[in-house]
A and B are shown apart, each in its own frame.
Chain A
Amino acid sequence: MKTLLKILFTALIAISANAKEIKLLNVSYDPTRELYTEYNAAFTKHWKAKTGDNVVISQSHGGSGKQAQSVVNGLEADVVTLALAYDIDAIATQARTLPADWQKRLPNNSAPYASTIVFLVRKGNPKQIKDWDDIVKKGVSVVTPNPKTSGGARWTYLAAYAYALDKNTKNDAAAREFIKKLYKNVPVLDSGARGSTVTFAQRGIGDVLLAWENEAHLVLKEFGADKFEIVTPSLSILAEPPVSIVDKTVKRHGTTEVAKAYLDYLYSEEGQDIAGKNFYRPRSEKAAAKYAGNFASLKLVTIDGEFGGWAKAQKTHFADGGTFDQIFQP
């Protein structure tokens, strides 16, 4: 027994002497599990080939807001890959572990891949849901998470709002009425995107799930394309889930270089290909062309263009007493 331990110990020392082992923690949001599982393997290989070092990447997933909160409270994330810029902003302002202008450091608003909000309906589309107007009809049951707790749900809410604004020539009151009708059709407000997916796909609740595009494709893959189908509305929002290193943490861990490379590699052809394969809209033309068949074209509005940025949208819509709260007030 003792000799066995000794051998193990020397072996361990030998391994660690040969190649440095670097640990990296990626704190991400709910539906990126599959994407980063695949990407981490690719990056580990890439880094090993380039430097000879082993990178061991741990992933953490959960509701975007909750994840950001954990990082503020001291979770030692080297990189954060969250659902919306607002959550990384919160880390910047509350924990001050990264600069306020973090979003300017990488191309495309620091979002290496984009997504949008689409509808997932049951096979055959029994309620004939084609666009946003169909889901506010009486008797249609809609599943979406709570925008107060879920990043994806905030994108969803804003997509619906943008549609209503577009349709009613920017009339705010009409848009509010529309959104009120929409949320009256929601029987369950889960706290995160994955929770809603389970409610809809596994528990069989609702006629339509308002979901991340990648999540909707994932459901088709997991549960079979014979059970659900994706409906792309005429207008939706360009969701840009951003990424950033956490400056102070990587400095302390001595992982600045590898963390930066980890995020940069997301923009490489391989990184973009993995994003496309996992149903995120790639930014590179090559990968976008390769996966074009997966993504229906639709009119996409941006948060900055339509709502004046996250800080403003948050205050008007999701803060206490905001338009979301008003929906439920008698």
Chain B
Amino acid sequence: MNRFGFSLSKGRQINYDTNDRSAAEYVIAGEPSLLACIECGGCASTCTSGNFTSFSLRQLNILLKRGENDSLRDELRKCMLCGKCTLVCPRGVNTRNVILLAMEAFNKSQDYAV
């Protein structure tokens, strides 16, 4: 703790003007089917990782689109790439590729390296 005995808390406001959405743009360029997502949550309900943890591909999708990269980076590590979500998606989104591209985007950017 600093000498003041308290610290500054970051706001929880989502600011689209300042958030970095380059990772989302990279993923959508590589996997345009992500735009067809209706956020039904089928992927999250069938997820092996999400069975025992709070991991949710639907949440991950929202974080990616909002540019909330700090939370997204932590979430990505939980995916086991089994691909069950791809099988159940009613809109035909290649969700496994979405995860891979997001990891790739972060690995390319030093700021968000997974």
Q: Do A and B come together as binding partners?
A: no
What residues of chain A have their CB less than 8 Å away from a CB belonging to chain B? none
